[in-house]
A and B are shown apart, each in its own frame.
Chain A
Amino acid sequence: MSWTRKILRVDLSKGSCKSEPLNMEWAKLYLGQRGLASKYLSEEVDPKCDALGPDNKMIMATGPLTGTMASTGGRYSVITKGPLTGAIACSNSGGFFGAELKYAGWDMIIFEGKSDKPVYLLVQDDKAELRSAEHLWGKTAWATDDSIHATHQDPQMRVACIGRTAENGCLYAAIMNDRHRAAGRSGVGTVMASKNLKAVAVRGTQGIGNVDDAEAFASATNDGKAVLAENAVTGQGLPAYGTQVLMNVINGVGGLPARNMRDVGFEGAEHISAEAMAEPRKSDGKPNLTTNGACFGCTIACGRISTVDPTHFSVKDKPQYQGSSGGLEYEAAWSLGADTGIDDLDAITYVNFLCNEDGMDPISYGATVAAAMEMFEDGVITTKETGGIELRFGDAKAFVALTEQFVSGGAFSADLGMGSKRLTEKYGKPDLSMTVKGQEFPAYDPRGIQGIGLNYATSNRGACHLRGYTIASEVLGIPVKTELNDTDGKAELVKAFQDATALVDSAGLCIFTTFAWGMDNIAPQIDAACEGDWSVENCLETGERIWNMERLFNEAAGFTADDDKLPKRLLEEAIKHGPTKGQVSRLGEMLPKYYEARGWTADGKIPDETRQRLSL
């Protein structure tokens, strides 16, 4: 079965923790994690509710393969209504927390209501209780993790928690687990803070012993691991270079946005690339990259463990930041680097540490700073607003000072914490917000790469590469190469990636496996682990069902086809130079075809026959 078949329901208003059986009828339709928790959210929460009010709920959910020997089977997701977007939010994280929750005997935790005072949830196998977190409130995520470990004297305990930015109301605050893994996007950490919930500490010793067909599972997972090991991306590129392998590649094809997407192509890209991270530096002879590290059960191990040059201005007098910690992944290196015009690898590694330490999404943070920089250069924002900081593109010292000021809640932090949509609206420059549904873009320019723009525009959680990573096809040729600037076939491509991703995110697996795995590698692993029919066809239909269910939540929250759009800059301001010179996003050519491919109406609504086909 692989599900524990148990849900922990925590009512923060009443202070109660109760066990209830998992709805197995829903599990057969929505599998687990993203899909199943979104079903619970859709059934239990009014999509029009205030995301930061007590009526919103927050669900931490594992998948059926979380905690098993399936490669990358350690994922969990946080599902809630997101405060940055007002849409359904689903943020996926690795590390070790998800598997521990499963080993404690729980498929998911549903948090509801709001606590009067700061609390943390302690889960030790079947036992769950809320404890006072008044001594933890105001602490960083790292200090919270340390403090909980010190209190419970259990080195194997796993902690997911929020830092100070969530407490300060930053709308893109993350939930950090295992110090440097994050349920990063859409402000799920802000929802946690709104409930006065500081941390969840879990210790599980029960294990998973109920795999449906153990022999078939061993065979399917071993086959899957062999495919990952033999594939050039998952077997060599990602372990050696991490996702940062993309920096020079994407810049080379003309798809790397820079300076709040004012430009495409960043002249400093090579200085903040994977290759630069591996280069020994002068001061201590060590490279930025210490080693690669894996999340639970992952045989790829793309994670970066890095150090900042101890003589660099950012950490010189701060020994606490001179050790190794979670290093730059591609998206963060882009947002904190190229998008701010900064090519100082040590500075952005340090800022990335601060994002982890105080729990904010580095994509939204970097992109919001980039929007602020553009407004500063345009004279819309001055040093009066920024607390004296000259906020110009490319200024690493200013960025480091700004970030230190931001995490501690200093000047300009309330503005930056709004995200770029609200920030640019406040200063009368809404066209400078590089967002969809209020969420900032990641590191691929929709003018240079057409399909990803359609994916951004239609993503259920706002702009996001992880809803449908068409870059795999458009740049890397996986599973087949499609041309960057073609719009033909992109509607179907985006739909296929979105549906497959929804399924992978519901299984407990990592999306990075899909550089090597197709559904014919994934479905047999789920089918062996779980009762019921998990054929390739059923898995794909489940993914499509989940996508449509999320869309229905957003529709009920008030979103329409009018929200499936890109900023004017990407539709009208052509790329000025490089291999994609002259291009704009041709979203208008793709969107009607996308609605058609999905079986939706011309105005993006889900008609009855599509609902019935998908059992919605």
Chain B
Amino acid sequence: MQKSLNIDPGKCTGCLQCEMACSYEHTGTFNPSRSYIKVFTFHHEGRFAPYTCTQCDEAWCMRACPVDAISVDMATGAKVVSDDKCVGCKVCTIACPFGTINYSQATGKVVKCDLCGGDPQCAAACPTDAITYVDADWTGYDRMLASAAKSLPSAEATAG
């Protein structure tokens, strides 16, 4: 079974526990500036949006890489950067339509979410379930359910 990160921005409070967990897993430091997941704050709208790689099946970054530094982790489906092969050319950062693979000055390589080998620490750290790790076939089902619930006669009583 393949699993996928499922992000619900409406539940995010902008606490950055995910950024600390991610950076701690990958660098051994609490350091949001080196996190592979980013939470954006839209102050005037009062919204927070966690953003990271969705692990496209046909990944633009992987296709664009001239040195085959990005490969599929067969256990998790994550697209993983090999630091041994990456030359830091950044072509993948141009190819990715979502901007979720990024260059790191600290290492001279590109960095991206690798799903922590199947135990994503961002999801584990999220206090509000804004980030969950679910069966890949079930992404979006919670919103489908919420939408379906609106058709119930008692919708007014339960919505919002």
**A interface vs B, CB < 8 Å?**
67-69, 71, 96, 99, 103, 156, 179, 204-209, 225, 229, 239, 290-299, 301, 303, 305-307, 323-325
Q: A69-B20, A229-B127, A291-B46 are in contact. Are A297 and B33 (CB under 8 A)?
A: no
B residues 48-81 near A (Cβ < 8 Å) are 48
Q: A96-B16, A305-B46 are in contact. List 7 more A-B contacts (CB 8 A).
A: A69-B24, A207-B30, A207-B31, A295-B15, A298-B13, A298-B15, A299-B17
Nearest-neighbour CB distance to chain A for B21, whole angstroms, equals 7
Nearest-neighbour CB distance to chain B for A560, whole angstroms, equals 44
Q: Which A residues are CB-close (under 8 A) to B106?
A: 205
Cβ A207 vs Cβ B34 within 8 A: yes
Q: Which A residues are CB-close (under 8 A) to B33?
A: 103, 156, 204-205, 207
For the complex, what is the distance from the CA of A206 to the CA of B27, rounded to whole Å? 11
For the complex, what is the distance from the CA of A225 to the CA of B15, rounded to whole Å? 13
Q: Which B residues are CB-close (under 8 A) to A305?
A: 46
Nearest-neighbour CB distance to chain B for A231, whole angstroms, equals 13
For the complex, what is the distance from the CA of A572 to the CA of B119, rounded to whole Å? 63
Chain A's closest residue to B48 (CB) is A293
Nearest-neighbour CB distance to chain A for B154, whole angstroms, equals 18
Nearest-neighbour CB distance to chain B for A32, whole angstroms, equals 16
For the complex, what is the distance from the CA of A206 to the CA of B28, rounded to whole Å? 11
For the complex, what is the distance from the CA of A301 to the CA of B46, rounded to whole Å? 13
Between A71, A206, A208, A293, the greatest number of chain B beta carbons within 10 A of the residue's beta carbon is seen for A293
Closest 10 CB pairs of A and B: A207-B31, A207-B29, A323-B44, A324-B46, A290-B46, A294-B15, A209-B29, A299-B127, A301-B13, A294-B13
For the complex, what is the distance from the CA of A291 to the CA of B46, rounded to whole Å? 6
Cβ B14 vs Cβ A208 within 8 A: no
Cβ B31 vs Cβ A299 within 8 A: no
Nearest-neighbour CB distance to chain B for A216, whole angstroms, equals 15
Nearest-neighbour CB distance to chain B for A63, whole angstroms, equals 14
Of the four ranges (under 10, 10 to 19, 20 to 34, 35 or more), the interface on chain B belongs to 20 to 34
Cβ A69 vs Cβ B15 within 8 A: no
27 pairs of residues in contact across A and B, judged by CB atoms under 8 Å: A69-B17, A69-B125, A71-B127, A103-B31, A156-B32, A205-B33, A206-B29, A208-B31, A209-B28, A209-B30, A209-B31, A291-B13, A292-B13, A294-B14, A294-B15, A294-B16, A295-B15, A296-B15, A296-B16, A297-B16, A299-B17, A305-B46, A323-B44, A324-B43, A324-B46, A325-B43, A325-B44
Is B47 in contact with chain A by the CB < 8 A criterion? yes
For the complex, what is the distance from the CA of A103 to the CA of B34, rounded to whole Å? 11
For the complex, what is the distance from the CA of A261 to the CA of B48, rounded to whole Å? 39
Is B45 in contact with chain A by the CB < 8 A criterion? yes
Nearest-neighbour CB distance to chain B for A288, whole angstroms, equals 11
Chain B's closest residue to A229 (CB) is B127
Chain A's closest residue to B31 (CB) is A207
Is B23 in contact with chain A by the CB < 8 A criterion? yes
Say which residue of B27, B44, B45, B127 sits within 8 Å of A207 (CB atoms): B27
Q: A103-B31, A209-B28 are in contact. Are A323 and B43 (CB under 8 A)?
A: yes
Q: Which B residues are CB-close (under 8 A) to A297?
A: 15-17, 20
Cβ B32 vs Cβ A103 within 8 A: yes
Q: A293-B14, A297-B17, A298-B15 are in contact. Are A68 and B47 (CB under 8 A)?
A: no
Nearest-neighbour CB distance to chain A for B14, whole angstroms, equals 5
B residues 76-117 near A (Cβ < 8 Å) are 106
Chain A's closest residue to B28 (CB) is A209
Nearest-neighbour CB distance to chain A for B136, whole angstroms, equals 27
Chain B's closest residue to A96 (CB) is B16
Nearest-neighbour CB distance to chain B for A201, whole angstroms, equals 15
Say which residue of A69, A209, A301, A306 sits within 8 Å of B128 (CB atoms): A301
Chain A's closest residue to B105 (CB) is A205
For the complex, what is the distance from the CA of A301 to the CA of B48, rounded to whole Å? 13
Q: A229-B127, A293-B13, A298-B15 are in contact. Are A69 and B31 (CB under 8 A)?
A: no
Q: Which B residues are CB-close (under 8 A) to A296?
A: 15-16
Nearest-neighbour CB distance to chain B for A572, whole angstroms, equals 46
For the complex, what is the distance from the CA of A303 to the CA of B14, rounded to whole Å? 11
Nearest-neighbour CB distance to chain A for B65, whole angstroms, equals 26
Q: Which A residues are CB-close (under 8 A) to B24?
A: 69
For the complex, what is the distance from the CA of A306 to the CA of B45, rounded to whole Å? 10
Q: Which B residues are CB-close (under 8 A) to A71?
A: 17, 127
Nearest-neighbour CB distance to chain A for B41, whole angstroms, equals 8
Between A68, A208, A291, the greatest number of chain B beta carbons within 10 A of the residue's beta carbon is seen for A291
Q: Which B residues are CB-close (under 8 A) to A156?
A: 32-33
For the complex, what is the distance from the CA of A36 to the CA of B16, rounded to whole Å? 27
Nearest-neighbour CB distance to chain B for A234, whole angstroms, equals 11
For the complex, what is the distance from the CA of A67 to the CA of B31, rounded to whole Å? 8
Cβ B15 vs Cβ A206 within 8 A: no
For the complex, what is the distance from the CA of A297 to the CA of B15, rounded to whole Å? 5
Nearest-neighbour CB distance to chain B for A103, whole angstroms, equals 6
Chain B's closest residue to A208 (CB) is B30
Nearest-neighbour CB distance to chain A for B49, whole angstroms, equals 12
Nearest-neighbour CB distance to chain B for A280, whole angstroms, equals 9
For the complex, what is the distance from the CA of A324 to the CA of B41, rounded to whole Å? 12
Q: Which B residues are CB-close (under 8 A) to A306?
A: 46
Nearest-neighbour CB distance to chain B for A4, whole angstroms, equals 12
Q: A225-B127, A291-B47 are in contact. Are A205 and B31 (CB under 8 A)?
A: yes
Q: Which B residues are CB-close (under 8 A) to A299?
A: 15, 17, 127
Q: A68-B30, A207-B34, A225-B127 are in contact. Are A293 and B17 (CB under 8 A)?
A: no
Q: Which A residues are CB-close (under 8 A) to B128?
A: 301
Q: Which B residues are CB-close (under 8 A) to A204?
A: 33
For the complex, what is the distance from the CA of A239 to the CA of B48, rounded to whole Å? 15
Chain A's closest residue to B42 (CB) is A324
For the complex, what is the distance from the CA of A305 to the CA of B41, rounded to whole Å? 12
Q: Which B residues are CB-close (under 8 A) to A103?
A: 31-33
Between B20, B27, B46, the greatest number of chain A beta carbons within 10 A of the residue's beta carbon is seen for B46
Chain B's closest residue to A303 (CB) is B13
Q: Which B residues are CB-close (under 8 A) to A325?
A: 43-44
Q: Which A residues are CB-close (under 8 A) to B47?
A: 291
For the complex, what is the distance from the CA of A206 to the CA of B32, rounded to whole Å? 9
Cβ B30 vs Cβ A69 within 8 A: yes
Nearest-neighbour CB distance to chain B for A381, whole angstroms, equals 38
Nearest-neighbour CB distance to chain A for B33, whole angstroms, equals 4
Chain B's closest residue to A325 (CB) is B43
Chain A's closest residue to B45 (CB) is A324
Nearest-neighbour CB distance to chain B for A115, whole angstroms, equals 30
For the complex, what is the distance from the CA of A179 to the CA of B46, rounded to whole Å? 13
Nearest-neighbour CB distance to chain A for B150, whole angstroms, equals 16
